[in-house]
């Protein structure tokens, strides 16, 4: 009998277990019984799963469809209208109460981005500079605003070019009211409102000192007021130009401030910012009076119409002009006071340096025909004292 036939015969014949291996026999039987139960259980579960699989597949699909409709309210701007144009069908947007949900969503997104910039950029730079606590707070504030102003100024300038407001300034007040906005214009305004709203809780998160809170609250509220007025009164083109000018001016200030914290010898950048600041105030006042004071005043559609979004009345134009004029005048007054204070400090430093230099200069020595006096003693020309005369003894 060959080896293969022996193995086949051994597999067919039952294995005889001796009397002393009863414990092994019990373990084997218990193991086989457990395997049988496990197989029966799996067969039953698979059969049930086969009957209910279609229902389980439909349930996540229904949930995704329901959440997608809700998510669009937060992510995408609402009140879209499709209008035909020579280029094809164009989607335009209006404003409404559902914009609050979109602002709320990007409010939280902005908080996350703020934390990312602070953690991975500004904190690393602060550790290398070893700034004091007060300078560290101002450096972080300027760093955050520098990033925001850079992005917003580039974005707003791109919108002004693509919409044709730069090359055709008359479009700022023509075809008023500007009720229908393109996607990029409406999304820009919503993100601007979300950013300045997020700056309010950031005062607590950044642990701003109590002395700094009123100053920061002032410019946060001013930004919110001006952006909301331009958005709700359908003055979005004028608001875009003013925001672009303001952000470019503020960008120069915060860049100069960051360089000053790294090295206090960088003073010339503040001089450049001072010129840009005054220029921005003059251009802002001129543009507002040109667009609102003269352009809208000569428009044909005079009157108040809530349904059409027309607010071209004297009772609304005058408060808008007054608000912008008072804000620009207040900013100029603060700027002049700051420059005068800086000039006085510079003059005091110059006077103090002159006094220190005068104390350190050596006094000139008094000379006469014989020699010169030094500390009450007469010195010869060569610096040696003259020999005393010998007195003859009597």
Phi and psi at 176, nearest 5°, equal -75, 140
Give residue 18's pLDDT.
47
Look up residue 9 and give its two tokens: 């015969």
- Residue 34 is predicted with a pLDDT of 67
Domain boundaries, the chain: 112-355
What pLDDT score was predicted for residue 44?
57
pLDDT of 13: 44
* Cβ proximity of 314 and 280 under 8 Å: no
pLDDT at position 9: 47
Mean pLDDT per block of 10 residues along the chain (394 residues) reads 47 45 63 65 52 43 64 86 80 92 96 94 88 86 95 96 89 89 95 96 89 92 96 95 96 92 80 92 95 90 87 93 95 92 81 78 54 50 52 44
Give the whole-angstrom CA distance, residue 304 versus residue 296: 13
Tell me the pTM. 0.73
């Amino acid at each position: 009998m060959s080896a293969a036939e022996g193995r086949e015969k051994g597999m067919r014949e039952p294995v005889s277990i001796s009397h002393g291996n009863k414990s092994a026999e019990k373990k084997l039987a218990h193991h086989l019984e457990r395997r049988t139960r496990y197989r029966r259980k799996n067969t039953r579960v698979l059969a049930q799963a086969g009957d209910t699989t279609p229902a389980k597949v439909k349930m996540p699909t229904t949930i995704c469809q329901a959440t997608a409709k809700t998510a669009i309210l937060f992510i995408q701007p609402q009140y879209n209208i499709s209008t035909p144009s020579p280029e094809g069908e164009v989607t335009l947007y209006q404003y409404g109460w559902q914009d609050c949900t979109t602002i709320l969503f990007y409010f939280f997104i902005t908080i996350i981005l703020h934390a990312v910039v602070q953690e991975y950029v500004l904190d690393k730079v602060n550790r290398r500079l070893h700034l004091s606590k007060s300078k560290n707070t101002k450096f972080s504030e300027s760093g955050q605003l520098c990033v925001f102003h850079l992005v917003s100024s580039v974005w707003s300038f791109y919108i002004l070019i693509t919409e044709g407001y730069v090359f055709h300034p008359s479009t700022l007040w023509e075809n008023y009211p500007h009720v229908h906005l393109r996607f990029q214009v409406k999304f820009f305004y919503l993100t601007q409102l979300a950013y300045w709203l997020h700056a309010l809780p950031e005062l607590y998160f950044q642990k701003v000192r109590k002395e700094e809170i009123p100053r920061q609250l002032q410019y946060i509220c001013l930004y919110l007021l001006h952006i909301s007025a331009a958005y709700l009164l359908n003055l979005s083109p004028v608001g875009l130009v003013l925001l672009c000018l303001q952000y470019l001016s503020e960008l120069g200030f915060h860049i100069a401030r960051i360089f000053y914290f790294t090295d206090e010898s960088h003073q010339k950048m503040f001089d450049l910012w001072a010129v840009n600041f005054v220029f921005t105030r003059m251009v802002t006042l001129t543009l507002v009076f040109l667009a609102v004071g003269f352009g809208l005043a000569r428009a044909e559609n005079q009157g108040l119409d809530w349904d059409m979004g027309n607010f071209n009345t004297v009772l609304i134009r005058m408060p808008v002009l007054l608000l912008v004029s008072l804000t620009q005048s207040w900013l100029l007054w603060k700027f002049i006071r700051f420059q005068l204070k800086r000039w006085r400090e510079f003059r005091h430093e110059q006077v103090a340096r002159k006094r220190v230099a005068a104390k350190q200069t050596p006094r000139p020595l008094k000379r006469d025909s014989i020699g010169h006096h030094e500390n009450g003693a007469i010195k010869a020309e060569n610096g040696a004292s003259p020999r005393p005369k010998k007195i003859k003894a009597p």
